[in-house]
Amino acid sequence: MSDQYESYVFDHSRGWMSLDIYYEPGLNVATLNHTGHISVKQGDSRYVGTWIDRLRDCKPIALHTFLVENEKIPALFQPCVYDDRDSPSAIGGSGCLCRKSMTDPITGLPVVREHYRTVSGNIESWTYKTITSRGLPEGRTVRSLIVDKHEFWMRDDASGELHFLPRTDSSGYGIGYGGGGPYTLCQMIEQLVESDGANSTPVRWRDEPNGALATWARNDEINHQGEYTIKELRSMIRYPTTTPSRPPPSGRGPPVLTAGRELANAAAGPGVSLGDFGDDHAAAAVPGPRRTRPLLRRQLRRHA
């Protein structure tokens, strides 16, 4: 052990979920290393609902304390206002700020359910906080990657179970903008494709992602939500001008059509090829005529 820090590894009885606890003696510093913290709310999406349905109540253990603020740790041991109107976590006999310890029976990971209820009861919500695993068990593979409303998931090919896409707090995922989140997501997609779904551990630093994949991930004009198989993800890297068609999420409108060079050429009219204007303009043309036509008009005037 180093005299500057100690690292403990927690091994779940299933033998595959592990995380590092980093602790500096004398400095009151303790953190979970190499794991990403997750926060979702009941009602966020059907995927969140599926995950919440499998959670089970349990007694608080040390790992649950990493998921709440220090001053809220006592709330893990206090009843909800629905169970005791005089609970220390109750407010005015009907409001509540309790915390409940739970566990994910599939992974063994700790979960904390945060209850927020106003005294009048007109506002009430349940927020679930947890951490991601370090990846699927050895020998298991990822069937698909899911882009949800506000979250990213993977599906176990053997069991079909949902898991949060593994990450670290310093490298979260994002979609539909030009920041680092989409960049990290692209790196994870490439890692999954290269390993045929076998490597789902949090990504380390890699080379810049595939250009076509990065263009898709950062595009803010298309609906990215959906479940993508490894085959579909691979096709997005091999064929940069197209992306697989996605069915609309339940309760939503028609799918947003993505487009590449073919759609841009069609919008330009006969006898004009977007290839005349270079790849940068091809990327700028995605997803379709709304951006393609003004771009092509400018280019056509320039070539006239």
Written as six digits, the tokens of 28 are 């009151």
pLDDT at residue 117 in the model: 95
pLDDT at residue 241 in the model: 47
Tell me if 155 sits within 8 A of 144, measured CB to CB.
yes
- Half-sphere exposure (Cβ direction) of 63: Cα atoms closer than 13 Å: 27
Domain assignments of the chain as residue spans, ordered by start: 36-131, 142-238, 261-303
A 10 A CB-CB count for 279 gives 14
Tell me if 226 sits within 8 A of 249, measured CB to CB.
yes
- Assess whether the previous peptide bond of 294 is cis (omega < 30° from 0): no
Distance, in Å, from the CA atom of 242 to the CA atom of 222, rounded to the nearest integer, reads 13
pLDDT at residue 202 in the model: 85
pLDDT at residue 134 in the model: 81
- Residue type at position 104: D
Q: Which residues contact 162 (CB under 8 A, 6 or more apart)?
A: 47, 50, 51, 146, 153, 154, 155
pLDDT at residue 2 in the model: 41
Intervals of the chain under pLDDT 50: 1-18, 23, 27-30, 239-242, 248-304
Q: Which residues contact 135 (CB under 8 A, 6 or more apart)?
A: 166, 199, 200, 201, 202
Q: Could you give the 3-state DSSP secondary structure of residue 38? A: strand
Written as six digits, the tokens of 163 are 């898991």
Q: Of 51, 69, 19, give the one whose Cα is nearest residue 128.
A: 51
Q: Which residues contact 79 (CB under 8 A, 6 or more apart)?
A: 87, 89, 98
Is pTM beyond 0.85? Reply is: no
